[in-house]
Amino acid sequence: MEVKEQYVVDQNGNRTAVLIDVDYYRQLLAALDEIESIRAYDEAKSSGHDSIPFAEATDEIERQRR
């Protein structure tokens, strides 16, 4: 997708905001979400904590809610 941004400028001509296509904005949000997930995964892997299976984790959470 070709990005065609437009700028909002103040009375001095300084760029203060950017206007982008809504579809491109959604793509940026999806990419950001993926990057945040990767960072969280990397942080969890490097924490040195033991991992547990997802089903076991959800069972434990449910037990704690009761």
| pTM, entire model | 0.60
What pLDDT sits at residue 48?
81
Contact of 24 with 1, CB cutoff 8 Å:
yes
| pLDDT exceeds 90 at position 12 | yes
Tally of CB atoms within 10 A around 21: 14
Summarize pLDDT for 15-29 with one digit per residue, the tens: 999 999 999 999 999
| pLDDT exceeds 80 at position 1 | no
Summarize pLDDT for 46-57 with one digit per residue, the tens: 888 888 888 998
What's the DSSP call for residue 49?
P
Average of per-residue pLDDT values in the chain? 91
The domain limits of the chain are 6-65
Quick one: tokens of 45?
């892997």
